[in-house]
Structure 1
Amino acid sequence: MSPMRKFTQMLKNLISRNPSLMAIFVFLKCFLRHGYTEAIVKYRLCKPVKIKNAEFLHTITTERRKREEAYEFPQKIKISILVPLYNTPKQFLVEMIKSVTDQTYKNWELCLADGSDDEHAFVGEYCQSLAKDDSRIVYKKLEKNEGISENTNVCIKMASGEYIALFDHDDVLHPSALFEAMKAICEHGAEYVYTDEATFAGENLNDIITYHFKPDFAPDNLLANNYI
């Protein structure tokens, strides 16, 4: 190994072991490619500090949104998002659907199978009102609630996409979630995709109580716990 290569490898090892240096490295790399605004978001994601306001973790810059929405993938793939609904609180329902409609990747389908009781009729009313204006939202009222597994199976029958995404009725997506999934599909031919996730406290999206950072493909870890 040449002296220069040894030095480069030593520098990489040093940076990878030091979170602060890694954050600076990521900032400089992103700054040169995308500018200050995007770079500061990346820096905050890497900086080893306690996050008091996590708003930037579920929002993106205007520049990034425009860039991703204008991007043309080499494949035209529809992603069907499956959501079994049951007595979903209104705020969760609104935020969940909005997180889908706000995606920078637009070729999606939202399949909603609703097993809510009569006291939660607003769930169906709200979903149907949105479906009238957006054909990508597909809603079905179930005769009775069969539980999350069977209700999800109904969603699968409703789906017409090449890929399906499992989604709970109180989940929210980062605006770039489907865009990043499409990158993995197109660049690596991925047959399934999984992502990192976070758990929020109550109704406040800025109050994150746990992070679940998942490894790259790791068969043993996949068999040990459900991280898809």
Structure 2
Amino acid sequence: MDRFRELTVFLRVVDTGSFSRAARDLALNPSTVSKLIGRIEERLGTRLFARSSRVVRLTADGEVFRAGALRALEALEQAEVEITSLRTPIAVKGTLRIHSLPAFARYQLAPRMPAFLARYPDLHVEFLLSNETPNFIEQKIDVSIQSGQLVDSALIGRKLGTSRWVICAAPSYLTANGTPVTPADLKDHNCLNFTPEIPFREWPLNNGRSRNITRISVSGSISSNHG
């Protein structure tokens, strides 16, 4: 049995929580499923499932293998989609509603729109630009480009890239008010910031040598919902 089939059977056992139900879904003999999982475990030298008379659950190693199996199947499916799309012209039409951070739309999306619409001339694109998290259902949004962690687990996220934030000040401000040396010094300074409903209101800081992030609160006389 090939590796693709192995992964399919393994993930079906994970989804159903049962060897017998997985076998029924895949039209296999339960003993075949059990032997297959045992063969994978023997090859890896570890147990993927903790078994009891009623429960089949993943071990810690099983969780790691599950994540890798999902990535492998997703990569295979994506490869098939890409090959198929090269051979089969796709008729894309209708309205595509995109929610985006304003800065990302201005500097990343806008320059790419002419080529995108030349490729899909029957498509109409609508942009909804804001830093707030949208209501996908009420606003009929197809795609949302956001920064930070994906909050709603029902959403499917794809990483597009990374951005870097820096703290800066006008030289005239530093001359008049002094230069902060540590993050704690910022509490005594007049900082530009977002309004309360914007998720970037706390400033994430690190020391430049590690990935440990410290978030601090700052205040100032001017705030806005737009960078």
Query: So what's the TM-score if we normalise by structure 1?
Result: 0.28
Structure showing the higher helix proportion among its residues: 1
| TM-score computed with the length of structure 2 as normaliser | 0.28
Higher relative CO (Cα under 8 Å, sequence separation at least 6) belongs to 1
